[in-house]
Chain A
Amino acid sequence: MLTTARDLFRYNREFRVGTLLTGFIVAFAALSLVSPYPPQDTFVVPPDVSPSLAHWFGTTSRGQDVFWQLTFAIRNTMLFGFAVAILSRLISITIGMWSGYKGGFVDRVLMSINDTFIVIPLFPLLVLFYFVMRDKMSWPLLALAMACLGWSYDARLIRSVAMSLKSREFTQQSVFSGMRTSEIVLQEHLPYVLPIVFYTTMNNMNWSIGLEVTLSVLGFTNIDTPTIGVMIYWANQHTAMVAGIWWWIFFPVLFVVILFIGLFLLAISMNEYIDPRSRLARMGRMSG
Chain B
Amino acid sequence: MNAYAVYAGKRLLQFALVVFIGINLAFVITHSTPIDPVEQTVATATAFGSTSPEAVEMMRQSLRELYGLEGSAWGQYVVFWKRIVVGDFGPSLSAFPTPVSVLINRALPWTIGLLTISTLLAWILGNVLGGLAGYYRDSRILRIAGIVTMGIHPIPYYIVAFVFLIVFGYLWPVLPISGGSQMNVQWGWNPTFILSVLRHSILPITSLVLVGIGGWFMGMRSLVSNIVTEDYVAYAELAGVNRRRILGAYVMRNALVPQVTGLAMSLGSIFNGAIITEQVFGYPGIGTLLISAVHTGDYSLVIGIASVSIIAVSVCVLLIDLLYPLLDPRVKAS
- Please list the residues of chain A having a beta carbon within 8 angstroms of any beta carbon in chain B: 112-113, 115-125, 127-134, 136, 153, 206, 209-211, 213-214, 217-218, 220, 232, 241-242, 249, 253, 256-257, 260-261, 263-264, 268, 271, 275, 277-278, 281, 285
Q: Among the listed B30, B155, B163, B275, which residue makes an inter-chain contact with A123, where contact means beta carbons less than 8 Å apart? A: B275
B35 lies within 8 A of A132 (CB): yes
For residue B200, CB closer than 8 A to chain A, the reply is no
- B25 located at the interface, meaning its Cβ lies under 8 Å from any Cβ of chain A in the complex: yes
A281 to B32, CA, bound (A): 52
Given contacts A132-B29, A214-B276, whether A121 and B310 have CB atoms under 8 Å apart is: yes
Are A133 and B35 within 8 A (Cβ)? yes
Assembled-state Cα–Cα distance A32/B35 (Å) = 35
- Let me know if B110 is at the binding interface, CB within 8 A: no
CB of A124 within 8 A of CB of B306, answer yes
Q: Taking the complex as formed, is B272 at the interface, i.e. its CB lies under 8 A from any CB of chain A?
A: yes
Q: Are A123 and B276 neighbours in the complex by a CB distance under 8 Å?
A: yes
Contact of B268 with A218 in the complex, beta carbons under 8 Å = no
Given contacts A125-B26, A132-B30, A132-B35, contact A120 B268 (CB under 8 A): yes
Q: How far is the CB of A201 from chain B (nearest CB, A)?
A: 14
- CB-CB under 8 A from B151, the residues of chain A are 261
Residues of B bordering A, CB below 8 Å: 14, 17-18, 21-22, 25-26, 29-30, 32-35, 37, 40, 137, 150-151, 153-159, 162-163, 166, 169-170, 218, 222, 225-226, 229, 264-265, 267-269, 271-272, 275-276, 279, 290-291, 294, 299, 302-303, 305-306, 309-310, 313-314, 317
Offer 28 A-B interface pairs, CB within 8 angstroms, sorted by A: A112-B14, A112-B17, A116-B18, A116-B21, A117-B21, A120-B21, A120-B25, A121-B272, A121-B310, A122-B272, A123-B276, A124-B305, A127-B290, A128-B306, A130-B294, A131-B302, A132-B37, A210-B159, A213-B156, A213-B158, A214-B157, A214-B158, A217-B158, A218-B291, A241-B170, A256-B159, A257-B155, A268-B218
Report whether B294 and A131 are in contact in the complex, using a CB–CB cutoff of 8 Å. yes
| B14 touching A116, Cβ below 8 Å | yes
Complex: A124 Cα to B21 Cα, angstroms: 14
Which single residue of chain A is at the shortest CB-CB distance from B312?
A: A121
Residues of B within 8 A of A213 (CB): 156, 158-159
Closest 10 CB pairs of A and B: A210-B156, A264-B154, A132-B33, A123-B272, A124-B306, A214-B158, A260-B154, A121-B271, A121-B268, A124-B309
Q: Are A121 and B309 in contact (CB under 8 A)?
A: yes
Please determine whether B313 and A264 come into contact, CB atoms closer than 8 angstroms: no
Q: Which chain A residues border B163 with CB–CB below 8 Å?
A: 253
Are A121's CB and B313's CB within 8 A? yes
**Which residues does chain B contribute within 8 Å of A119, judged by CB atoms?**
18, 264-265, 267-268, 313-314, 317
Least CB separation from A203: chain B residue: B154
Known contacts: A210-B158, A264-B154. The answer to whether A128 contacts B166 by CB under 8 A is no
Collect the chain B residues with CB atoms within 8 Å of residue A210's CB.
155-159
- Point out which of B21, B25, B313 has the most chain A C-beta atoms below 10 A from its C-beta: B25
* A253 close to B159 (CB less than 8 A): yes
**Cβ of B272: which chain A residues have Cβ within 8 Å of it?**
121-123, 211
